[in-house]
Amino acid sequence: MTTDSTSPLLLVVEDDAPMRRFLRVALTAAGYRINEAETGMDGVHKAAMQPPDAILLDLGLPDIDGLEVVRRVRDWSQVPIVVISARGQEKDKVVALDVGADDYLSKPFGVAELLARVRVALRHAARVASRSATGEATRFAVGELEIDLAARRVTCAGTEIHLTPIEYRLLTTLAQHAGKVLTHAFLLKEVWGPGSEGEAHNLRVFLAALRRKIEAEPARPRYLLTEQGVGYRLVDE
Amino acid sequence: MTEPHKTDEVLEQVRAEQQQQRRGKLKIFFGYAAGVGKTYSMLEAAQAQHKLGVDLVVGYVEPHGRPETEALLAGLPALPTRQVEHRGVTLQEFDLEGALARRPALVLVDELAHTNAPSLRHAKRWQDVDDLIAAGIDVYTTLNVQHLESLNDIITQITSVVVRETLPDAVFERADEVELVDLPPDDLLVRLREGKIYVAAQAERAMDNFFRRANLIALRELALRLTADRVHVQVQTARLERAADLPWATHETILVCFGSSPSSAKIIRAAKRMAAGFQAPWIAAHIETSRDSWMSRASRLQLLRNHRLAEQLGAETVTLSGDSVADEVINYARSRNVTKILVGKPHRSRWIDLLRGSLVAALLRRSGDIDVYVTRGAEEVEGPRVEPPPRPRIRWPDYGSMAAIILLCTGLAALLQWCGLREINIVMVFFLGVVFVAARYGRGPAAAASVLSILLFDFFLVPPRFSFAVSDTQYLLTFAVMLVVALVISTLTSRFRIQAESSRNRERNTEALYQLTRELAGRMSNRELVATAERLIQNLYGGRVAILLPDDKGILKPPASPDGAFAASENERAVAQWTLEHRKPAGSGTDTLPHAAALYLPLVGAQQAVGVLGLANPRTEDGGPLPADRRQLLEALVQQAALAVERHLLAEQAEKVLMQIETERLRGSLLSSVSHDLRTPLAVIAGASSTLLEKNRPKDLETQRDLLYSIYDEAERMTRLVENVLHITRLESGAMVLSKQAQPLEEVLSSVLVHLEKTLQGRPLNMKFVDTLPMVQFDGIMIEQVLANLLDNAVKYTPAGSPIDIIMGIEDNEAVIEVADRGPGLKTGEEQRIFEKFVRGSAGGSEARRGAGLGLAICRAIIQAHGGRIWAANRPGGGARFIFTLPVGEETSSVV
């Protein structure tokens, strides 16, 4: 694939040189343009000077905390941010997502996973942009699952599925952010309203019910994935 | 690795401990009188040290205004003295706190026997010096022979000057070095006349009293002999050290009996000298008799002083009780293998001996093979102390009751007389009354009752009635006999009463000790243990009790209970801290920091001081300090508590050490495992990638792909291994905190299956669930790890393509999750072992053998942390099954 000035620009904020090189090689090969920053401050600076289409941000930076970078960028920009951190630091990921990151990647990861996350991030940004231009999207489809938002109808492999109002709201919230991981706190706030953040078990109960309705094999879900310790994701490809 | 760094740490620690353990050295410049040049010698020595560069300060040097001394002081750094106002006079005192804060290597403190001004930390300067030494500071000091406690009365005899400032012999004996500073008496007298010792005005008086030539010669002899003895002991000790298995020089044990008289002090000192002569351990015993309950406050204080004196001189003190002093002494002596008993010579008339029996005679009769020494219990030289006669407080209500009882008896007697009974029987009624009064109200009322009975008997019942006149002289004999009998009865009865009381007291003491020991014997937490001891001691002593325990750095923690609030103030805590560090009692009623609100006793166990007990405002009869017997009981109780606390600490330490050993072992195996299991994949990665980088690398794409795949696979394997190693270290270090939440089990399974998609490729999965699976409380990430490890194992240890079953159900309020395969199964005896760390299953191909053997150990640790169980078994029809359970809480089954 060739890169030209129209292909998406990605900002990679990462202090580790080999890691940076790997990202550069993999992403350039996939047709993206790359801008690199070694420190958090440099990252914030470059994001402002040459606004990227998405940011890949390592949480462990030498100067300022990665979370701080997310906060500062979010002050003026809605650019998708994908956070990179090690496994076992689920709490950091949740915090990063809650302060405005869009998604995360756990080290170590393969190229396929990396590219999938980048695609989701860019697509999501495009969807938000088109939504603000043309109003709410009316239809969402992935695999055999279809949601007709105008008609409030959900079908799977052509058969209509009956959802309770909360299940429906849960599914549409996930569909609006399809491909992205949504934290427990976010989902609770969106579906049940502010102040219900502590009732994670409710969310789990409804999600299990939803899964039983839309998944052929609830224990091996195709659409509704669990990110242990972080939240849920509705696949979009 | 961190190995060299660790060794450094250990060394550092040892060095710090040595520093802590290092006590300062005490050097005493010892002389027989003022003016022999002790201070001068001390300063000379100090100058020499100063030249050598030793960090020394002059803590305190008596300013006698001698020019030679002043000259030697020049150039030595001095610590400012402390100005203390006392009764309108400004006193210059040694500033202990200043010296401790300054922490020099060596401090000069003149006049070891000096008595401090009352507001200072300690009553005596030698206690200050003890503190310095305990803090690791060397001390030079001076001492005159007349100040030694055990020589006190001999000195008084020689010089007829009473020396008030005395020093416990133990301090002198503990000194690391004693340098005798000697000057012939004639030279000393010359120096005195020249005014080199005291300023001229005082010289005359001093000379008259103390500096007589004869005195000086005697004192010099004492000092020389003492120094010689010390050398002798040192030689002997050295000899003993060389031949450690030689028996104790003598097998003597000395027992000295003392009472509440001031003269007992002399007997105690005599015993000390005797013990020193024989190099024998010695015991000082006080025998408490029923007469002791009459003791005046002054006598009780004297008894307490005698107790302390004996303790200071190094005796083990005991209190025995019983009315036959001789019996108690002999029985105790036999039980302790005492070889010599020392008693005071009684200075009372033979008549009293005849009446009461002589202690000495009784001892001699029963002593058998024990030698009995009798020493003169002389009056104090400063004249006999006027003691108020022992008199119990008069309790008037008792006398009122007594009068009522005797009146009642008179009425009854009159009635009996009216009935025609004879006088002999009527008298019995009065005796009855007297016995009753004696038993009930004690000796005083009983004696009064005896007299009153006779008066009333005479007045109402003996003709002529209603007059004290007696018509028949026969009655006079009746009265006399009646009086004697009544008095004897009353004395005997009240004595029984007192004995019964004291045996009740003893019983209470024994009971208290027993109760404490029993209650503390049970397994309980340190906190409960302390609370129990506090409660029991508070019940016995009243007031408020707090047991303070030190933290890791040896600083006492503030009291735990609200009752201990008295010990929370900075002052009180400082006193308690001193007690802990010096393992000596302090505070109210002691010589150290007596102005504190409470008495503090150290909790000294078998090896270490483990805490401090504070006792504020204990109940005492007169509001004064605790009497000796109760103090002793308290000390016994404290010792029991100390042993219990120490036992607890030791158990804790043992557990810690065990854990450390376990951790070390784990670290060792982890290291070897990791180094092997990481190196193999690293070797593959390095090899494959370098092959690809070679100039003449394989040209065909298939081979290149193969190499790339092997790099990728090895990286995956390393990821898993690192994951497991991290997990087990976190679990083992206890740093892992479960964040349990109610959640459906299917959910965690689904996320595992997504993660393991690649691993599980080509494996038919059969899942069996109960539809009604409840929500279960667990940590999702952890259980995900368990399932991942079990599934990973199932793949590794079974032939490719064989099916894997996952079954979830509910049994007896437990969620039961099973992962079963159709592989070769487990060997007999392996079912338990495979859950151990670094144990790999015997089945499986090379893939399985390359694991670290941590997977199942992690599973077990996680499941146990959740309160569940995990086990393995073989399946009927072939294959292994791994089952784990998670408890289903009540509250979680009713969610939705």
pLDDT of residue A37: 93
A1 belongs to a structural domain:
no
Q: What is the dihedral of CA B506, B509, B513, B519, to 10 degrees?
A: 120
CATH number of the domain residue A74 falls in:
3.40.50.2300
Among A73, A103, A131, the domain boundary falls at: A131
Same domain, A144 and A180: yes
Distance CA A186, CA A100 (A): 11
Q: Do B747 and A208 touch (CB under 8 A)?
A: yes
Q: How many domains does chain A have?
A: 2
Query: Which residue, among B746, B749, B781, B807, would best test binding to A if mutated, counting the most A CBs under 10 Å from its CB?
Result: B746
Same domain, B748 and B628: no
Distance CA B3, CA B5 (A): 5
Q: For residue B885, list its beta bridge partners.
A: B816
* Alpha-helical runs (H) found in B556-627: 570-582
A221 belongs to a structural domain:
yes
Among A114, A131, A148, the domain boundary falls at: A131
Same domain, A42 and A98: yes
What are the Cα distances from residue B274, in Å, to B250, B259, B271, B353?
12, 19, 5, 27
Residues in chain B: 896
Query: With contacts defined as CB-CB under 8 Å, which chain A residues touch B896?
Result: 205
Same domain, B63 and B91: yes
Same domain, B726 and B745: no
Residues 188-207 on A with a CB inside 8 Å of B are 200-201, 204-205, 207
> Which tokens in the block code for residue A153?
């109808």
Range of the domain at B447: 396-499
What are the Cα distances from residue A64, in Å, to A36, A87, B110?
16, 21, 63
A93 belongs to a structural domain:
yes
Same domain, A118 and A145: no
Among B376, B408, B429, the domain boundary falls at: B376
Same domain, B130 and B156: yes
Cβ neighbours of B494 (radius 10 Å): 22
Q: Do B781 and A228 touch (CB under 8 A)?
A: yes
ipTM of the complex: 0.76
Distance CA A85, CA A66 (A): 10
Distance CA B297, CA B387 (A): 9
Q: Do A228 and B719 touch (CB under 8 A)?
A: no
Distance CA B145, CA B409 (A): 68
Distance CA B81, CA B719 (A): 70
Same domain, B596 and B718: yes
Same domain, B864 and B885: yes
Q: Do A88 and B726 touch (CB under 8 A)?
A: yes
Closest in A88, A205, A225 to B895, CB measured: A205
The torsion region of residue B739 among left (phi > 0), alpha (psi -120 to 50) and beta comes to: beta
Same domain, B474 and B598: no
SS (H, E, C) B538-576: HHHHCCEEEEECECCCCCECCCCCHHHHHHCCHHHHHHH
pLDDT of residue B205: 59
Same domain, A94 and A148: no
Q: Which residues contact B560 (CB under 8 A, 6 or more apart)?
A: B527, B530, B531, B546
Q: Which class for B590: exposed (0-12), middle (13-18), buried (19 or more C-beta within 10 A)?
A: buried
B504 belongs to a structural domain:
no
Residues in chain A: 237
Distance CA A22, CA A53 (A): 20
Residues 683-712 on B with a CB inside 8 Å of A are 712
* Nearest CA-CA distance, residue A222 and chain B, Å: 9
Write the DSSP symbol of residue B54: -
What count of Cα atoms within 13 Å lies in the side-chain half-sphere of residue A101?
A: 28
pLDDT of residue B378: 47
B471 touches chain A (CB under 8 A): no
Range of the domain at A150: 136-234
* Alpha-helical runs (H) found in B392-459: 396-419, 423-441, 443-456
B564 belongs to a structural domain:
yes
Closest in B715, B746, B747 to A108, CB measured: B715
pLDDT of residue B246: 39
Same domain, B205 and B61: yes
* Nearest CA-CA distance, residue B780 and chain A, Å: 6
Q: Which class for B843: exposed (0-12), middle (13-18), buried (19 or more C-beta within 10 A)?
A: middle
Same domain, A118 and A164: no
CATH number of the domain residue B317 falls in:
3.40.50.620
Intervals of chain B under pLDDT 50: 1-7, 199-201, 243-250, 378-390, 891-896
Q: How many CB pairs under 8 A join A and B?
A: 63
Confidence of residue A46 (pLDDT cuts 50, 70, 90): very high
pTM over 0.80? The answer is no
Residues 791-830 on B with a CB inside 8 Å of A are 806
Residue pointed to by tokens 């109940």: B619
SS (H, E, C) B824-855: CCCCCCHHHHCCCCCCCCCCCCHHHHCCCCCH
pLDDT of residue B226: 80
What count of Cα atoms within 13 Å lies in the side-chain half-sphere of residue B478?
A: 22
What SS3 class is residue B174? helix
Among B313, B345, B376, the domain boundary falls at: B376
Q: How many domains does chain B have?
A: 5
Query: Which residue, among A167, A199, A201, would best test binding to B if mutated, counting the most B CBs under 10 Å from its CB?
Result: A201
B775 touches chain A (CB under 8 A): yes
Cβ neighbours of B812 (radius 10 Å): 8
SS (H, E, C) B338-352: CCEEEEEECCCCHHH
Write the DSSP symbol of residue B696: T
Among A109, A131, A153, the domain boundary falls at: A131
> Which tokens in the block code for residue B304?
């307490």
Element (H, E) at A146: strand A145-148
Distance CA B605, CA B613 (A): 13
Percentage of residues in chain A with pLDDT exceeding 90? 21
Task: Write the DSSP string, B753-800.
Answer: HHHTTTTTTT--EEEEE-TTPPPEEE-HHHHHHHHHHHHHHHHHTS-T
Instruction: Assess contact for B817 and B802: CB atoms under 8 A.
Output: no
Query: With contacts defined as CB-CB under 8 Å, which chain A residues touch B749?
Result: 219
Query: With contacts defined as CB-CB under 8 Å, which chain A residues touch B747?
Result: 204, 207-208, 211, 226
Q: Do B775 and A207 touch (CB under 8 A)?
A: no
Q: For residue A107, list its beta bridge partners.
A: A86
A4 belongs to a structural domain:
no
Instruction: Give the tens place of pLDDT for each residue, B712-722.
Output: 888 888 887 88
pLDDT of residue B294: 63
Distance CA B28, CA B12 (A): 33
Query: If you count DSSP H runs as helices and E runs as strands, how many of each does chain A have, helices first?
Result: 8, 12
Q: Do B775 and A226 touch (CB under 8 A)?
A: no
Instruction: Assess contact for A95 and A67: CB atoms under 8 A.
Output: yes
Task: Write the DSSP string, B282-329.
Answer: EEEEEEE-GGGGG--HHHHHHHHHHHHHHHHTT-EEEEEE-S-HHHHH
Instruction: Give the tens place of pLDDT for each residue, A69-85.
Output: 999 999 888 899 999 88
When computed from its CA atoms, the radius of gyration of chain B, rounded to whole angstroms, is 42
**Chain-centre distance for alpha carbon B82:** 33
Residue pointed to by tokens 């090899």: B687
A221 touches chain B (CB under 8 A): yes
Closest in A205, A211, A228 to B784, CB measured: A228
Same domain, A213 and A166: yes
Closest in B723, B726, B742 to A201, CB measured: B742
Q: Which of A30, A81, A78 is nearest to A59 (CA)?
A: A81
Q: Do A219 and B744 touch (CB under 8 A)?
A: no
Maximum distance among all alpha carbons in chain B? 154
pLDDT of residue B851: 61
B891 touches chain A (CB under 8 A): no
Query: With contacts defined as CB-CB under 8 Å, which chain B residues touch A21?
Result: none
What are the Cα distances from residue B592, in Å, to B142, B604, B670?
22, 18, 55
* Nearest CA-CA distance, residue A211 and chain B, Å: 9
Same domain, A109 and A164: no
Q: Which of A46, A55, A9, A49 is nearest to A28 (CA)?
A: A9
Q: What is the dihedral of CA A11, A14, A20, A22, to 10 degrees?
A: -90
Cβ neighbours of B117 (radius 10 Å): 17
Same domain, B363 and B235: no
